[in-house]
Amino acid sequence: MKELSLDLLGEEAMVDLGVELAASIANGGVFSGAVIFLEGDLGMGKTTLSRGVLNGFGYQGAVKSPTYTLVEPYEFEQLTIYHFDLYRLGDPEELEYMGIRDYFDTNDLCLVEWAEKGAMFLPKPDLVVRIGLIDGGRVVRIAGQSEQGHKITARLSDRLGL
Amino acid (1-letter code) at residue 130: R
Output DSSP code: residue 125: P
149-153 contacts at long range (C-beta below 8 A, 24 or more positions apart) = 149/34, 149/125, 150/1, 151/27, 152/21, 152/24, 152/25, 152/27, 152/34, 152/126, 152/127, 153/1, 153/3, 153/4, 153/24, 153/127
Mean pLDDT of 32-40: 91
Query: Is 115 in a helix, a strand, or coil?
Result: helix
CATH code where residue 138 lies: 3.40.50.300
Q: What is the pLDDT of residue 89?
A: 84
Task: State the residue range of the domain holding 81.
Answer: 4-160
Q: Residue 63 phi/psi, 5° resolution?
A: -125, 115
Q: Residue 142 phi/psi, 5° resolution?
A: -120, 125
- pLDDT band of residue 150 (cuts 50, 70, 90) is very high
Q: What is the pLDDT of residues 38-48, one digit of tens each?
A: 999 988 999 99
152 neighbors 56 (Cβ within 8 angstroms): no
Q: What is the pLDDT of residue 58?
A: 93
- From CA 139, how far away is CA 9, in angstroms rounded? 9
Checking if the pLDDT of 23 tops 80, the result is yes
Q: What is the pLDDT of residue 1?
A: 57
Query: Is 13 in a helix, a strand, or coil?
Result: helix
Q: What is the pLDDT of residue 115?
A: 93
Among 22-36, 57-71, 111-125, name the most confident range. 111-125
Burial class (CB in 10 A: 0-12, 13-18, 19+), 157: middle
Q: How many domains does the chain divide into? A: 1
Q: What is the pLDDT of residues 53-110, one digit of tens each?
A: 999 999 998 888 776 678 999 998 888 999 999 988 878 788 888 888 888 867 899 9
* Mean pLDDT, the chain, whole residue set: 90
